Chain A
Amino acid sequence: MSSRLPSWKELPIGAVILEPGSSRRYKTHEWRTLRPVINQDKCIRCRICWSYCPEPAILEVDKPYVTSTNRRYEITYMVDYDYCKGCGICAQECPVKAIEMVPEVR
């Protein structure tokens, strides 16, 4: 957001918000005290963490990944650390415990 606030003459009539999904500008990562870290070798791509994320802060990307045991996956799940609030649902629900919550150190 710009440092200068818009005057009332510049705002749309009725103060309607014209840009869909504009809350993306607000990063909620500062709420976090624990950070989820996905172990890509352990992850079985079951989609559960992605589906239960409230933000959504777990991204499903078409990025191939080859595990240490030479298993190839076409998709990768990645945490969007800009928005993750660190609730820990993903780590709690992961069936193979591939997500670890580690303390956020700044």
Chain B
Amino acid sequence: MSRALTIRDLPREERFAPGHRMCQGCGAAILMRHITKALPKDTIIVQATGCVEVTTTLYPETSWMNPWLHIAFENAAAGASGVEAAIKVLKKKGQLPPGKEVRVVAIGGDGGTFDIGIQALSGMLERGHDILYIVYDNEAYMNTGIQRSGATPFGAWTTTTPVGKVWHGEWRRKKDIIGIALAHRVPYVATVNPAYLPDLYAKVSKAMSIKGPKLIHAFSPCVPGWRYEPALTITIAKMAVQTGMWINYEIENGVLNVTTPVPKRKPVREYLKLQGRFRHLTDEEINTIQKFVDEQVAYINKLAGKEVIGPVEA
């Protein structure tokens, strides 16, 4: 790409209809709106069970403008693999014109990707299907009522990691889904954030131009699950990037590129204090989270070969 996209480059045409039942201020709704803008029109979307699935397709209505297939919780990637294979066979049999570009995108939540769908995802990445897998990560099973998932970060309250005398929120660390995908030697992985929409648009477009399995990990603030006012969705998403809790980057053929450099980081406390799910944290636990973030930033800077994410500002 010759120049960075700006907010003016986002197409006006909506490919995601209003009237869906996602919560007020849902981060995933902003993601879906802009992901569908970036997809070619002949793209089949295969969706795992999750918030976005149950809220966008209440029978007999749908918010999607693309051909869309709902598949079970665990097998969005397997279903998408089948769709992709079927397109190849139809072309071979002459039932689809050989020049016709029909692409496949799988979308899953963090539960349907990190936990339940991980083996289907691994199989898809391993077999090398030409599919873009997008995981919108709201860091717990929000649709069923805020149960922890493999994506729940350290310290977060959920209904299954409650805060009391014995437990103090989640005590395990978040799974590194990008690392898992990279271990399959895929051509393209990226992270996107709803506060940085031109970046999101560019990454989805770029992923669609690459053949082979791709994974995009999307940050998706959740109003009821993270316990904040609906208006703060974008504020929190921006704060996640400014504190280094979330890093916007892409790895294309093993080369890492941080798309949102942060010269001076804010302390993670600034991010944590916006959300009710972290309100119980002690100073010691916040320091532990800060240490995790410092480690991740050091790792990304090492891969980038230079300091793209700066130190915490005093």
Contacts and interface: CB of A to CB of B under 8 A. Distances in A.
Interface of A: 11, 15, 17, 19-28, 31, 46-48, 51-57, 60, 80, 82-83, 85-89, 91-93
B63 to A, nearest CB: 4
B230 A87 contact: yes
Contacts of B66: 20
Interface in B15-73: 16-22, 24-27, 29-30, 33-34, 56-66
B86 interface: no
Contacts of A89: 25, 230-231, 233-234
Nearest to A32: B24
A23 B234 contact: no
Given A92-B231, A92-B234, A23 B17 contact: yes
For the complex, would chain A's binding face be called helix, strand, loop or mixed by DSSP majority? loop
Contacts of A88: 25, 229-231
Contacts of B230: 87-89
B232 interface: yes
Contacts, number: 111
16 contacts: A15-B60, A17-B61, A21-B64, A23-B58, A25-B19, A25-B61, A26-B21, A28-B18, A47-B8, A51-B7, A52-B233, A54-B22, A54-B26, A54-B29, A56-B18, A89-B230
A23 B7 contact: no
B65 A54 contact: no
B116 interface: no
Interface residues of B, number: 42
Nearest to A23: B19
B201 to A, nearest CB: 10
Given A51-B10, A92-B234, A22 B60 contact: yes
A21 B62 contact: yes
A88 B30 CA distance: 14
Given A15-B59, A88-B231, 14 more contacts: A20-B66, A21-B63, A22-B17, A24-B19, A26-B58, A26-B61, A31-B24, A52-B234, A54-B30, A54-B33, A56-B16, A87-B24, A87-B233, A89-B234
Q: Top 9 closest A-B pairs, CB basis?
A: A87-B25, A88-B231, A21-B17, A54-B29, A23-B19, A83-B18, A87-B230, A87-B24, A92-B231
Contacts of B8: 47
Nearest to A84: B18
Nearest to A90: B231
B270 interface: no
B12 interface: yes
